[in-house]
Amino acid sequence: MPPLLSSSETTVRTYFIELSYLLASILFILGLKGLSHPETAKRGMHLAEFGMLMAIVGTLMHLEIITYTWIILGLVLGSLVGLAMGLWVPMTAMPQRTALSHAFGAFAAALVGISEFYRHGGHVDKVTMGAIGFEVMLGALTTTGSLLAFAKLQGLVRGTPLTYKGQNIFNMALLATTIGIFVYLIIVPGSLPLFFAMAGLAFLFGILLVMPIGAADMPVVMSLLNSYAGLASAATGFVLSNKVLIIAGTLDGFSGFILSVLMCRAMNRSMTNVLFGAFGSAAISGKAGEQQGEMREVGLDDIAVQLAYANKVVFVPGYGMATAQAQHAVRELADTLEKRGVTVKYGIHPVAGRMPGHMNVLLAEANVPYSSLYELEQINPEFPTTDVAVVIGANDVVNPDARDNPGSPIAGMPILEVDRAKSVVVLKRGQGKGFSGLENPLFFKDVTGMLYGDAKETLTRLVQAVQQA
């Protein structure tokens, strides 16, 4: 039994909860606004964190709480897991970490829905059934979908699309059956077996949904799963009559959806093509253009001289810069060049790295001024007047096949057109392929020189060589 409170104490608590939820909602909105720009992103993150704290404090004041034992246990366990992930998960594993977070959030939403239905023995009104069904369906498919995305990104299962004949029809039929049961339960609520069948099918559908999606499309899928997890939380809010969950879930759901659309645009793909196109399979079946010639290796001192006497240099960072943690070395090289009067700019591809804004975050960490970062559309017209384009561990985002070879699996994906620069230097460790697994004709062009080695080491040596040039 909850402790008996006087009516004035109850009123104070109720006001406190409402106020903390209102503050939390405002902070979430301000946080999202802050996150929309790299310069304000850190502040936005802190505002959202504070909003989450307000939401938790408000929730802990709820009058329906009988005992705090399980809540404290959950808080301690959750905090420990969060702390460990924050301390030890490297920046390069952020997409996997995000996938796991989506899985946890969605699983919590699904469990709340299942327990609410079970608690009432299935006898809920139609509106509540609608909210519970939506929550459980989205929560369940997001849980398994995110876990599979995690496994693919972590390399625990093959990142390539897993396809079979009639896959889309089978998936559609499964989804239609799940939705059919959901609709039936709204009309005639009460059947526990049907409810569990719906939940089970939704868990299965999550796996089948992500199975045919290639690793190259993971950014879109991740933001889509983020969106589903948010919408599942919003439905949880309706089930529990919790306003802050409704607001936060809706914000999360729709921002995730907008991000998915933006990512699709960045890769010149339609959402249906991402979800049902099994993109990436052609990469393995070898439809990429045949490569002619050899890669030309260049000496570090030659490149240092080229850079030192250039008028304009454009750095194009990619996933390799993240794995090498070379962002500080990049800035050092930029500083050294700028001191010699060279104009330095950075070309940022929206899907470079392994998560949206990956390059912006790393370069901001190294204090690269935001005004030096240029988006794809801004920097591409500048390449013909660029003396040296320095590609730092980027591959897919500078693959000219996307522009020149209609048969390429990445045909149509906008790229940073470094091959139009007067000279291109590619910093990478060896002949490794990019995320899509495709060969890159840029590396075989006459204009390109390859500088092999770990990006951080190479850049550090380049700084010294430029200083002596």
Applying CB under 6 A, the residues found at the interface with ligand NAP are: 95, 216, 218-219, 318-320, 323-324, 351-356, 358, 393-397, 427-436, 454-455
CB of 165 to ligand NAP, least distance (A): 27
Q: Which is nearer to ligand NAP, 252 or 396 (CB)?
A: 396
Residue of this chain nearest to ligand NAP (CB atom): 432
Residue 396 bears catalytic tag: yes
> Which DSSP letter does residue 196 get?
H
Contact predicate 397/349, CB 8 Å: yes
Q: Based on CB atoms, which residue is closest to ligand NAP, 124 or 359?
A: 359
Kindly state the smallest distance separating residue 19's Cβ from ligand NAP, in Å.
Answer: 37
Min CB(323)–ligand NAP separation in Å? 4
Beta-carbon contacts of residue 344 (< 8 Å; ≥ 6 apart): 312, 313, 314, 315, 334, 337, 338, 372
* Nearer to ligand NAP (CB atom), residue 325 or residue 343: 325
Question: Who contacts 423 (Cβ-Cβ below 8 Å, separation ≥6)?
Answer: 306, 387, 388, 389, 447, 449
Residue with smaller CB distance to ligand NAP, 234 or 450: 450
Q: Write out the two tokens for 390.
A: 């320095």
Q: Give first-to-last CA distance, the chain, whole Å.
A: 79
Residue with tokens 């561990």: 393
From 125, 217, 335, 396, the catalytic residue: 396
Output the smallest distance, CB 395 to ligand NAP, in A: 3
List % helix, strand, coil for the chain (3-state, nearest 5): 65, 5, 30
By beta-carbon proximity to ligand NAP, the closer residue of 306 and 436 is 436
**Distance in Å, CB of 312 to ligand NAP, minimum:** 22
User: What whole-number distance in Å separates Cα of residue 428 and Cα of residue 422?
Assistant: 20
Cβ–Cβ < 8 Å for 279, 216: yes
Rounded Cα–Cα distance for residues 395 and 442 (Å): 9
What is the spatial distance between Cα 280 and Cα 159, in angstroms, rounded to a whole number? 9
25, 248 contact by CB (below 8 A): yes
Catalytic machinery residues = 396
